[in-house]
Amino acid sequence: MASDTGPSPPAQPRVDESIYASINHQIDDFFVRNGFDPQTRIACDNFAASLSCGRKCIPAQHQGYCSYTVLLSGRHILQFRPVQFMLDMQVCREAREIYGSLVPTTSHMGIVDAQALGGSTIRGALHVYLQDVIPGISLEALHHMPCFSSKHRRNLIGDLAGVFATAFNHGKLPKSANNGSQSVFSRGIVGKSLTERLSLLQTLSGPESKYVQKVRQQAEVIESKMPWCFTHGDLVPANIMVNPDTGHLTGLIDWAEGEWLPLGTNLYGLEEVFGQVSSDGKTFKYYEDHLYLRAKFWNRFTVLAASSPPVFQPRSFMEHVRTGRTLGILLWRGIAFDDGKIDRVVTEDRDELEIFKLRLFLEAPTPPDFNWRHRSWLSCIWLLRFVFYRPPSAKSKVVEVKVAEDKITEVDIEYGGKCVAD
């Protein structure tokens, strides 16, 4: 095992003592919040040292809410997770199979049994996972850097369009069109409880309640007729890794909540790329170029999605996307996350930022809202998909239509992948 851990951990960028203090505070809070005494962290560090030939492992500067993470080497991290936040290895494998190198390879390395360390509040053990290091920094960190520009956002949006298209191209129908049998995917926590969660969302009393009713009216379509795609269950800036110099996507981390969900559900996360939280942490503001970024995303997505085998009906495609997007925003912004408990909706007095995001995201432009010419072009693309589809071949030329305000221009681009039309 030692030979697989690579070189010694690289020196992290020099940071002041206040940042180190903040990291340690986050780590200490993690152990206390999950009922482990201080000796548990020492046990975790000793476990990490045993995998790195005794070398001291460095805590990662980014610590998640559900885990304690250390740098094991220049190529690997080690993550310690309580039982309630342990990873489903099948989910990790599926994510890697579908999204490739954008997802870190994950291996379960064992457990740290905290019960043997004493303390009356200890509960269970910590599961240990070895993961690849995804290069770059989080989008959350890039948001606060002076170099962050419109060019970074354009590059990232184009890459994310590819991720969403990949999800769609690997989508599955919940029931077979031939015999009604269940499709070959298992529903996760959210997928199994859509009915209950929609019932909970009915208690929302603000302007968002009309969106709940619209989604509930489509419940049967969502459950049995819409394509379901393998979805990242926590698509937030902290889990989107980017190249700080270009803004290009380098990976997506923390797939603990990944599962099969209706097409478009994780579009709630795309809204976080179109803007950022205000400095006071109470509101969210879109960038001035967010309409252009939206057009660029759907422009690219429809080209890439149209290159997949003709499995789903194009006439209902965008309506399914719209429904899934609304569903995702309601599920992730309308239901509060209280230390893992998901048993109440957000309220203005307790969840000021979340209720602000919920209403803002629901009212934001959705795919079919751009203009009639964009929709007509989309219909043509889907028609080409049926007429000209053939299995993957060499690099092919497709036409990308750029939408900017009320002007549309066509630009020939090279797309290495599946053929839409020569």
Name, of 179-193, 233-247, 298-312, 402-416, the range with top average pLDDT. Answer: 233-247
Q: What is the pLDDT of residue 316?
A: 73
Q: What is the pLDDT of residue 80?
A: 96
Considering the domain architecture, whether residues 152 and 91 belong to the same structural domain is answered as no
Considering the domain architecture, whether residues 288 and 329 belong to the same structural domain is answered as yes
76-82 vs 68-71, strand pairing mode = antiparallel
Q: How far apart are CA 330 and CA 324, in angstroms?
A: 10
Tokens of residue 275, six digits: 């803007």
In the listed set 85, 102, 133, which residue is the last one of a domain according to the structure? 133
Q: What is the pLDDT of residue 173?
A: 84
Report the share of the chain in percent with pLDDT over 70.
75
Q: How far apart are CA 137 and CA 134, in angstroms?
A: 9
In the listed set 133, 156, 186, which residue is the last one of a domain according to the structure? 133
> Does residue 116 lie in a domain region?
yes
In the listed set 84, 108, 133, which residue is the last one of a domain according to the structure? 133
- Candidates 255, 302, 298; CA nearest to 274 is 298
Q: CA–CA distance from 157 to each of 163, 294, 295, 297 (Å)?
A: 10, 8, 10, 6
Report the share of the chain in percent with pLDDT over 90.
48
Q: What is the pLDDT of residue 52?
A: 83
Tokens of residue 172, six digits: 């599955």
Residue 372: is its pLDDT beyond 90?
no
> Does residue 76 lie in a domain region?
yes
Q: What is the pLDDT of residue 279?
A: 86
Considering the domain architecture, whether residues 253 and 370 belong to the same structural domain is answered as yes
Residue 402: is its pLDDT beyond 50?
no
Tens of pLDDT along 280-289?
888 999 999 9
> Does residue 85 lie in a domain region?
yes
Mean pLDDT over 359-377 rounds to 68
Considering the domain architecture, whether residues 58 and 196 belong to the same structural domain is answered as no
pLDDT band at 315 (very low <50, low <70, confident <90, very high): low
CATH number, domain with residue 272: 3.90.1200
> Does residue 128 lie in a domain region?
yes
Mean pLDDT over 198-217 rounds to 92
> Does residue 32 lie in a domain region?
yes
> Does residue 366 lie in a domain region?
yes
pLDDT band at 312 (very low <50, low <70, confident <90, very high): low
Angle between helices 89-99 and 150-169 (to 10 degrees): 110
Considering the domain architecture, whether residues 48 and 99 belong to the same structural domain is answered as yes
Considering the domain architecture, whether residues 109 and 253 belong to the same structural domain is answered as no
The reported pTM is 0.80
> Does residue 61 lie in a domain region?
yes
Supply the Cα-derived Rg of the chain in whole angstroms: 23
Domain count, the chain: 2
Considering the domain architecture, whether residues 258 and 296 belong to the same structural domain is answered as yes
Contacts of 306 by beta carbon, 8 Å cutoff, 6+ apart: 381, 382, 384, 385, 420
Considering the domain architecture, whether residues 177 and 91 belong to the same structural domain is answered as no
Domain region containing 78? 2-133
Name beta bridge partners: 231.
259
396-404 vs 407-415, strand pairing mode = antiparallel
Considering the domain architecture, whether residues 272 and 160 belong to the same structural domain is answered as yes
Tens of pLDDT along 244-277?
999 999 999 999 999 999 999 999 999 999 999 9
Q: What is the pLDDT of residue 340?
A: 65
Mean pLDDT over 154-166 rounds to 95
Considering the domain architecture, whether residues 72 and 116 belong to the same structural domain is answered as yes
> Does residue 369 lie in a domain region?
yes
Q: How far is CA 19 from the centre of its chain?
A: 26
Mean pLDDT over 79-90 rounds to 93
68-71 vs 284-286, strand pairing mode = unpaired
Q: How far apart are CA 324 and CA 378, in angstroms?
A: 18
Cβ–Cβ under 8 Å, residues 79 and 99? no
Considering the domain architecture, whether residues 73 and 150 belong to the same structural domain is answered as no
Considering the domain architecture, whether residues 58 and 200 belong to the same structural domain is answered as no
